[in-house]
């Protein structure tokens, strides 16, 4: 029997109905989840292509299965587009496009560069860091020891002088410069100075701000970092996947580093890569190189500022006083004068506005019901929202939370 690879109809009505339900939910909701976006039809087509059928364990020209000539071209194209998007020379940087997502990518980096039990310096989860930056409940915090840094209590901004003192005391093997809920620009040069002072690798996790960096709206880490990791499904508007860039050259941050990371991804952590996913990443990277994408990111930032300013004018406290990126964190508890983050998220969801509850720096409430919520403008900007729309959304949020 011939296998019909182009038959797109679903015979599983139960799953198809669930897909339609989720499609309807997405269409009707206002999506302010800072780590979500909407991909193009081309990205979805690549994800659902016949590339899903091929097993391609290994790297281009070094596969363990036959029949990978076309697959090699797909992966090499994704690598070329990743380097090109960030204006990187292939003689200076290597990029691995096989990681399945951000946490596996960070796990690969640490396993390549830090002995088990060694120290990873990463931002505190409650201050805006990510689980995969060494938090105790993550495998990254069980295999390695996190040296957590945070923000100033007064300004709620990163205090680089204090981070430097902490690094000098703890001597971490890696310093991770990155965040998932920190709304301000990151000074990668300052982190480089700190890393050099203690002989640490500098790893930049740009999962949230990769699109901002690619379009020049945020300072680039590539001048300073040894390794740069990014997911592709946030501001790059691609599928769920990740990229690991590693610097080539001589010395401790040279070609040996790239080789170690490649070996940590495969065969260290993964088997055959998901080539349909990699093809979808290649599509998204091409889209991100278009002039329209730069206009999009510019509008994302305008929308974030409009949303933040309007919420602030309505009396809500913004962590650090505002935002330099696509995301903002709002203190909705306000020392007991407001409501908890869990209730705020649930109220907003019932009204069709999707956010996530989020801790705030020095939060006195538990993570399951913290003091804040996190908002982002990536998804709604993709859907065409402008600054006036964001102000209206802010007013709706205010009405719902104060009702």
Say whether 55 is catalytic.
Answer: yes
Catalytic residue among 63, 173, 184, 234: 234
Say whether 196 is catalytic.
Answer: no
Say whether 205 is catalytic.
Answer: yes
Return all residues near 90 (Cβ < 8 A) that are at least 6 apart. 80, 83
Catalytic residue among 156, 205, 380, 389: 205
Q: Using CA of residue 107, residue 99, residue 212, residue 216, what is the dihedral sign?
A: positive
Q: Using CA of residue 286, residue 292, residue 297, residue 303, what is the dihedral sign?
A: negative
- Write the DSSP symbol of residue 269: I
Beta strand 201-205 pairing with 327-331: unpaired
Q: Partners of 242 in the beta sheet?
A: 231
Catalytic residue among 38, 55, 159, 395: 55
> Nearest Cα to 210, choosing from 121, 297, 120?
297
Q: How far apart are CA 148 and CA 128, in angstroms?
A: 11
Q: How far apart are CA 44 and CA 42, in angstroms?
A: 5
Catalytic residue among 36, 57, 187, 387: 57
Q: Residue 252: exposed, middle, or buried by beta-carbon count in 10 A (0-12, 13-18, 19+)?
A: exposed
Catalytic residue among 103, 180, 215, 231: 231
Say whether 187 is catalytic.
Answer: no
Return all residues near 108 (Cβ < 8 A) that are at least 6 apart. 99, 244, 261, 264, 265, 268, 269
**Contact in structure between 392 and 374 (CB atoms under 8 Å):** no
Residue count of the chain, please give it. Answer: 403
- Write the DSSP symbol of residue 158: B
How many other CB atoms sit within 10 Å of the CB of residue 27?
8
Say whether 215 is catalytic.
Answer: no
Q: Partners of 329 in the beta sheet?
A: 374
In terms of DSSP H, where are the helices of 86-159? 102-113, 139-143
Say whether 234 is catalytic.
Answer: yes
Catalytic residue among 44, 240, 302, 365: 240
**What residues act catalytically?**
55, 57, 205, 231, 234, 240
């Amino acid at each position: 029997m011939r296998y019909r690879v182009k038959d797109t109809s679903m015979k599983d009505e139960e799953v198809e109905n669930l897909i339609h339900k989720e499609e309807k939910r997405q269409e009707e909701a206002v999506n302010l989840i800072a780590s979500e976006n909407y991909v193009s039809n081309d990205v979805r087509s690549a994800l659902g292509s016949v590339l899903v059928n091929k097993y391609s364990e290994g790297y281009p020209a070094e596969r363990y299965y036959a029949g990978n000539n076309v697959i090699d071209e797909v992966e090499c194209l994704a690598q070329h587009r990743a380097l090109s998007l960030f204006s990187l020379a292939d003689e200076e940087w290597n990029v691995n496009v096989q990681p399945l997502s951000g946490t596996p990518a960070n796990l690969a980096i640490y396993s390549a560069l830090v002995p088990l039990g060694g120290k990873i310096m990463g931002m505190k989860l409650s201050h805006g860091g990510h689980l995969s930056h060494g938090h105790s409940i993550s495998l990254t915090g069980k295999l390695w020891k996190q040296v957590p840094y945070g923000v100033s209590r007064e300004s709620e901004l990163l205090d680089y002088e204090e981070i430097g003192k902490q690094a000098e005391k703890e001597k971490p093997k890696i310093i991770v410069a990155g965040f998932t809920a920190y709304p301000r620009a990151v000074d990668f040069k300052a982190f480089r100075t700190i890393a050099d002072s203690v002989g640490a690798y500098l790893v930049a996790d740009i999962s949230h701000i990769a699109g901002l960096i690619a379009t020049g709206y945020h300072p680039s880490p590539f001048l300073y970092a040894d390794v740069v990791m990014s997911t592709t499904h946030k501001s790059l508007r691609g599928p769920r996947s990740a990229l690991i860039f590693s610097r080539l050259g001589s010395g401790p941050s040279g070609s040996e580093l790239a080789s170690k990371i490649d070996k940590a991804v495969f065969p260290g952590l993964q088997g055959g890569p998901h080539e349909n996913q990699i093809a979808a990443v290649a599509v998204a990277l091409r889209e991100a190189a278009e002039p329209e994408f730069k206009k999009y990111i510019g509008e994302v930032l305008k929308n974030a500022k409009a949303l933040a300013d309007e919420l602030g004018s309505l009396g809500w406290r913004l962590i650090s006083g505002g935002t330099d990126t696509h995301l903002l964190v709002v203190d909705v508890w306000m020392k007991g004068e407001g409501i908890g983050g869990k209730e705020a998220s649930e109220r907003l969801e019932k009204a069709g506005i999707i956010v996530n509850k989020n801790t705030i720096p020095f939060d006195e409430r538990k993570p399951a019901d913290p003091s804040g919520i996190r908002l982002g403008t990536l998804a709604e900007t993709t859907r065409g929202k402008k600054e006036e729309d964001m102000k209206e959304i802010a007013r709706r949020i205010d009405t719902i939370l104060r009702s």
